[in-house]
Amino acid sequence: MQAPAIEGKANEAIALELAKAFGVRKRDVAIVFGDLNRDKRVLVNGDKAALERRFEELCGNPKLL
């Protein structure tokens, strides 16, 4: 991530990139853990089946993770 970790700009950039990757609105992506850490957990709201398909396209089979 190229955005600076100042005033949440990096977190905003992460949310925007994930929203683009999953084809959802930025407001459908939330960082639920790790706001101030390098490691994060995110929640992407949307159609579960569509999100799982897209995750598989991006990373491989989600059932194996």
3 in a domain, yes or no? no
Print burial letters for 23-60: b (CB count within 10 Å at least 16), e (below 16). Answer: ebeeebbebeeeeeeeebeeebeeeeeebeebbeeeee
DSSP H helix total and E strand total for the chain: 2, 2
60 in a domain, yes or no? yes
Domain that holds residue 26: 9-64
pLDDT digits (tens, 9 = 90+) for 8-28: 788 999 999 999 999 999 999
Residue indicated by tokens 């101030």 = 36
**Residue 63: per-residue pLDDT:** 62
4 in a domain, yes or no? no
42 in a domain, yes or no? yes
Average pLDDT of span 32-57:
92
Counted domains in the chain: 1
> How large a percentage of the chain has pLDDT more than 90?
55
30 in a domain, yes or no? yes
Answer yes or no: pTM beyond 0.85.
Answer: no
Burial class (CB in 10 A: 0-12, 13-18, 19+), 17: middle
Spatial separation of the C-alpha atoms in residues 1 and 22, rounded to whole Å: 17
